Amino acid sequence: MNTKLISHFMSHRAVTLELLSIMRNDDPDFKPSESSMSTAKLAVHMATSMYKFTAVAKAGSPEPLMEKEDVSEPDPLKAVKLYTEKTVQLLESLTDDDLSREIDLTNVFGFKTTGASLVKMGIEHEVNHKGNLFVYARLLGHTELPLYVKKG
């Protein structure tokens, strides 16, 4: 089991879930600007992206990135919880070979990378968009917000 990797992922995902819980009674269609994703769309994008990055690491090919995710759960918090469980299960299943294997993502991102680097990239993607969620929460009037990472 990839305890350190899962712990690192969950140190950020736990805060994402907490932010979504804080904003649970707000309009899920809230957008800070016309060109922004809605709160719900951003949350689902974060959750499905990390899942897909992990699935690519497991598969050793970019195909999972091309698959459309069918997210039928309308509550963003519940949808992210569901994808968190699915992602943790995938992370648990990653072998040393999965993590060290080079994956050709030239047609998608313009480079080749290892499974481990791709999972790290997924976590960095989460961190980036979690910062967006903090802005959304503040614009919605929330002032009691968590630290950006949960340890322990």
Over residues 62-80, the pLDDT tens digits come to 999 998 888 888 899 999 9
Query: Which domain CATH number covers 77?
Result: 1.20.120.450
Distances (CA, A) of 87 to 17, 29, 55, 134, 143: 14, 25, 8, 22, 30
- Taking the alpha carbons at both ends of the chain, their separation in whole angstroms is 18
In a domain, 150, yes or no: no
Q: Is 45 flagged in the annotation as binding?
A: yes
The rounded distance, in Å, linking the Cα atoms of 31 and 45 is 14
12 is an annotated ligand-binding site residue: no
Residue 144 lies in a domain: no
The 10s digit of each residue's pLDDT in 12-65 is: 999 999 999 999 999 999 999 999 999 999 999 999 999 999 999 999 999 999
User: Is the CB of residue 30 less than 8 Å from the CB of residue 140?
Assistant: yes
**pTM value surpassing 0.75:** yes
Number of domains the chain contains = 1
Q: Is residue 151 part of a domain?
A: no
Q: Residue 98 belongs to what domain range?
A: 3-139
In a domain, 12, yes or no: yes
Q: Is residue 149 part of a domain?
A: no
Asked if residue 145 belongs to a domain, the reply is no
The answer to whether 142 is annotated as binding is no
- On whether residue 62 sits in a domain, the answer given is yes
Residue 128 in any domain: the answer is: yes
